[in-house]
Each structure stands twice: as structure tokens, then as C-alpha cells.
Amino acid sequence: MHKEVQFKNRDKFVELGIIISAIRKSKGMTQRELAERAFISRSHLSNIEAPNIISSFALETLFNIADALEISAGDLLNIKLPSPQYINEDSEFDNDKY
């Protein structure tokens, strides 16, 4: 059962989902592969990564996703997306830069 995300945290969940998606893609993983390694369903991962769907998820899920991506949960939470003015639409998110 998911709790409703408070308005003040919506952007944080969206940003985290985008970061998870970018790191997953940079590692050449499909949603199915990451979901299996994180012990969640592919549809749940899809909801986490989707910028237009805001759903909270358990801390255990965050830890499992971080482990599957081979990054600490703390680092995953501390990565910041670059300002939109600095993003080239053709470029991939570079985890080493941010």
C-alpha cells in the first residue's frame, strides 16, 4: 500500500526516479533486469522512474535498487540533476559528473 506523496516532496520523488533511470541506462540495464536484481516488479520500477507518476516507495526498495545499481543509497539520494539549461537533449546522464 502506497501513501500519498506530500506536495512538498513530489519533485524529490520525480528527481530520484529520473536519477535511477539514468544510472540504470548508463549501466546498460533494462527495467526488467534492475527490477529482478532489486526484488521488485518491473511495473513498480516503471512507476518509480516515470516522471509523470508520483508514488512513494519503501526504504527497503531504495536500498535494493541502490545495491542493484552498485551505488550507496546515500549517494543515490545525494545526486543532483544538472539545471535544465546545462542538459543537452542528446547526451546521457553522466554519474561521474554529478
With a cut of 50, say whether residue 86 has pLDDT above it: no
Cβ–Cβ under 8 Å, residues 16 and 76:
yes
R_g (Cα) of the chain, nearest Å = 13
Q: For 41-68, how does the pLDDT look when each residue is reduced to its tens digit (9 = 90+)? A: 999 999 999 998 887 899 999 999 999 9
- The structure's pTM equals 0.78
For the stretch 19-34, pLDDT in tens is 999 999 999 999 999 9
Q: How far is CA 21 from CA 3, 7, 11, 92, in A?
A: 22, 22, 15, 11
Rounded to an integer, what distance in angstroms lies between the CA atom of residue 94 and that of residue 12?
19
Name which of 30, 13, 27 is nearest 69 in CA terms.
Answer: 27
- The set of cell numbers assigned to 94 is 553522466
